[in-house]
């Protein structure tokens, strides 16, 4: 490589290639879809979990369940992928359960080798790994609610579910919105480790996202300029999303990440 | 107080749901634990739940005897120790400096340090940069690039800002110099936040495998997580070959003997067990990190 001064100027050549190369455009679309599914589809679950934790009256039990639910968060993505691989393997537990449910006609198959199931697997593994830990912030918000509100509600004859709906949820609304707004920044930033780990020869072509394509084209095939241009596009969009979501959160709640 | 009927039903459903969550969280792990203690040939038949069918420790013996594994374990441990130490020294000194009175341009410096936390050029420019810095296939690639983490710096900084200024003033009156104030007054007080950052960095260093994927090709530098990634991908390739072999039955394809599921499971258990053993006792520090981080500026 020759540095800035002595490299030939190619203008927008590589950016043009991105928009004419169908594989790359698809990867852009896919990155966005995966991001949306994980951010919007995944975000109610930790809140629900935190609400349910809060309703447990036996403190010891609550502590144990919480600790167990945090466990997958501390494992590396590759360990999680290893667990999923053996769970979904042909002779694995998943196929045994399916065989029991479906009955005799069931043919064992490995759904990791079918790209149609890729997004559900990404989504479920994301939930499995993160849902417990993500509930921590909401639990803290719930712990900050004034207990006299619940006492007053009980006096007025409110049941537990009514209390969740009319007291807990409105009180943590602020936290919920902040967390949601802040996660908008990752709409265009699907987890490389997760997607790369779950890809295999059968699914790779149909599941390529920006991160994995940049890695394959750039580091494995040595197309530095093209993949730099591609990666840069992602960086710019992510930064734009981050600034936008921060501006929203600043305007709505006066809280900012900088 | 009388517990109403509907409340009782709600409680029971909630407890059942929680038990269900525990089961789906723990089952895959316990299953691997059982497979790792099961005889390799027997595991191929499948159907193992959470108890081994034919108990053996030979898988662990095989894992612990393999030179690859021992080398990777050495790299992983070395890396965690050095990465954590250097990162904490760098991040703490930075945060400390940014909370001192009389340091000019604090806001400007913070903004400058924030830039790379949110803007980066992407994988390839970093790759090229590391190559020029001779970090490729170099143990230092595990330590230096990740030494400064802006987020951790902010956590320590906000902790230090909370400390009352009078502590420092009274130490000065008692005749302590700047060095003494830092090492003998402020640092002992900030141990809780240092512990938090140490744990974050150590867990991340232990769990990381993409650094190796991108910048390391030499076998001697593989950490445990990367070794496991290779095993998982290898067994997947073996499965694909088996599928292909059954597809074209006539042509008998010679399948190279794959690492058995049980040995793979044993590797996974050994790789994850340090974290599984440790995190329940340290979770309060991790939670503290999340809380401090969520209270910004």
Tell me if chain A has a CB within 8 Å of the CB of B27.
yes
Of A71, A83, A192, the CB nearest to B210: A192
Q: Is the pLDDT of residue A197 over 70?
A: yes
Q: What is the ipTM of this complex?
A: 0.85
* CATH label of the domain that carries residue A157: 1.10.3720.10
| Residue A144 pLDDT | 85
CB atoms within 10 A of CB A186: 16
Instruction: Please state the rounded mean pLDDT for residues B27-55.
Output: 82
Bridge partners (DSSP) listed for residue B55: B38
Inter-chain CB proximity B207 and A75 less than 8 Å: yes
Q: How far apart are CA B74 and CA B221, in angstroms?
A: 9
Instruction: Please state the rounded mean pLDDT for residues A159-166.
Output: 84
Do B224 and B76 form a contact (C-beta atoms < 8 A)?
Answer: yes
Q: How far apart are CA A118 and CA A113, in angstroms?
A: 9
Inter-chain CB proximity B31 and A93 less than 8 Å: yes
Q: What is the CATH number of domain B65-222+278-294?
A: 1.10.3720.10
Q: How far apart are CA A136 and CA B294, in angstroms?
A: 11
Quickly state the pLDDT bin for A124 (edges 50, 70, 90): very high
Residue A117 buriedness (CB in 10 A; 0-12 / 13-18 / 19+):
middle
Question: What percent of chain B is modeled with pLDDT above 90?
Answer: 29
Q: How far is CA A246 from CA B40, B116, B157, B161, B190, in A?
A: 53, 17, 21, 24, 30
CB atoms within 10 A of CB B190: 19
Which residue segment(s) compose the domain that A128 sits in?
11-252
How far away is chain A from the Cα of B102, in angstroms, using its nearest Cα?
Answer: 22
Quickly state the pLDDT bin for B250 (edges 50, 70, 90): very low
Instruction: Please state the rounded mean pLDDT for residues B173-188.
Output: 88
Mutate to test the interface with A, among B44, B117, B236, B286 (most CBs of A within 10 A): B236
The conformational region for residue B164 under phi > 0 = left, psi -120 to 50 = alpha, else beta, is beta
Of B10, B209, B296, the CB nearest to A78: B209
Q: For the whole model, what pTM was predicted?
A: 0.87
Identify the closest residue of chain A to B225 by CA–CA distance. Answer: A78
Does any domain span residue A57? yes
Instruction: Please state the rounded mean pLDDT for residues A153-175.
Output: 85
Phi first, then psi, for residue A107 (nearest 5°) are -105, 120
Min mean pLDDT across A197-201, A242-246, B123-127, B234-238 is at: B234-238
Domain boundaries, given as residue ranges, for chain B: 65-222+278-294
Do B159 and B92 form a contact (C-beta atoms < 8 A)?
Answer: no
Residue B226 buriedness (CB in 10 A; 0-12 / 13-18 / 19+):
buried
Does any domain span residue A3? no
Residue B101 buriedness (CB in 10 A; 0-12 / 13-18 / 19+):
exposed
Q: Is the pLDDT of residue B245 over 50?
A: yes
Reduced to 3 states (helix: H, G, I; strand: E, B; else coil), residue B38 is strand
Could you give the number of structural domains in chain A? 1
Phi first, then psi, for residue B55 (nearest 5°) are -65, 135
Q: Is the pLDDT of residue B177 over 90?
A: no
Q: How far apart are CA A28 and CA A224, in angstroms?
A: 18
Does any domain span residue A257? no
Do B293 and A254 form a contact (C-beta atoms < 8 A)?
Answer: no
């Amino acid at each position: 490589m020759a540095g800035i001064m002595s490299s030939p100027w190619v203008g927008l050549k590589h950016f043009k290639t991105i928009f004419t190369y169908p594989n790359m455009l698809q990867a852009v679309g896919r990155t966005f879809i995966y991001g949306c599914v994980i951010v919007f589809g995944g975000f109610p679950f930790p809140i629900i979990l935190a609400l349910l934790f809060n309703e447990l009256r036996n403190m010891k039990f609550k502590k144990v369940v919480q600790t167990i639910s945090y466990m997958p968060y501390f494992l590396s993505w590759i360990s999680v992928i290893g667990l999923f691989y053996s769970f979904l393997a042909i002779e694995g537990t998943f196929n045994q359960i399916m065989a029991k449910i479906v009955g005799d006609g069931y043919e064992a198959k490995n759904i990791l080798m079918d790209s149609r199931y890729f997004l559900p697997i990404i989504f479920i593994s994301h939930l499995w790994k993160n849902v417990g830990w993500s509930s921590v912030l909401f639990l803290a918000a719930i712990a900050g609610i004034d207990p006299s509100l619940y006492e007053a509600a009980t006096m007025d004859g409110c049941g537990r579910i009514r209390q969740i709906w009319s007291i807990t949820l409105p009180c943590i609304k602020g936290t919920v919105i902040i967390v949601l707004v802040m996660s908008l920044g990752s709409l265009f930033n699907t987890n490389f480790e997760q997607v790369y780990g779950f890809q295999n020869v059968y699914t790779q072509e149909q599941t390529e996202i920006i991160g994995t394509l940049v890695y394959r084209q750039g580091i494995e095939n040595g197309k530095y300029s093209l993949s730099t241009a591609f990666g840069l596009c992602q960086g710019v969009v992510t930064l734009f999303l981050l600034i936008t979501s921060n501006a929203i959160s600043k305007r709505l709640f006066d809280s900012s990440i900088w | 107080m009388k517990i109403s009927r509907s409340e009782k039903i709600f409680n029971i459903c909630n407890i059942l749901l929680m038990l269900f969550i525990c089961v789906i969280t723990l089952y895959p792990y316990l299953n691997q634990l059982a497979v790792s203690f099961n005889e390799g040939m027997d595991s191929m038949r499948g159907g193992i739940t959470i108890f081994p069918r034919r108990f053996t420790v030979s898988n662990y013996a095989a894992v612990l005897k393999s030179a690859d594994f021992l080398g990777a374990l050495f790299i992983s441990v070395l890396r965690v120790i050095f990465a954590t130490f250097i990162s904490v020294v760098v991040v703490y000194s930075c945060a400390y400096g940014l909370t001192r009175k009389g340091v000019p341009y604090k806001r400007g410096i913070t903004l400058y340090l924030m830039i790379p936390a949110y803007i980066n050029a992407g994988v390839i420019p970093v790759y090229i940069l590391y190559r020029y810095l001779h970090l490729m296939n170099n143990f230092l690639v595990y330590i230096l690039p990740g030494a400064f983490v802006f987020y951790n710096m902010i956590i320590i900084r906000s902790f230090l800002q909370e400390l009352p200024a009078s502590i420092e003033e009274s130490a000065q009156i008692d005749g302590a110099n700047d060095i003494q104030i830092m090492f003998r007054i402020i640092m002992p007080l900030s141990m809780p936040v240092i512990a938090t950052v140490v744990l974050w960095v150590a867990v991340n260093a232990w769990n990381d495998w993409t650094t190796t994927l991108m910048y390391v090709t030499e076998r001697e530098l593989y950490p445990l997580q990367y070794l496991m990634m290779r095993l998982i991908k290898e067994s997947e390739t073996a499965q694909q070959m088996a599928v292909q072999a059954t597809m074209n039955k006539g042509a008998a394809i010679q399948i190279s003997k794959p690492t058995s599921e049980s040995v793979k499971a044993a590797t996974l258990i050994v790789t994850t067990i340090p974290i599984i053993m440790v995190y329940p006792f340290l979770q309060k520090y991790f939670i503290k990190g999340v809380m401090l981080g969520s209270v910004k500026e």
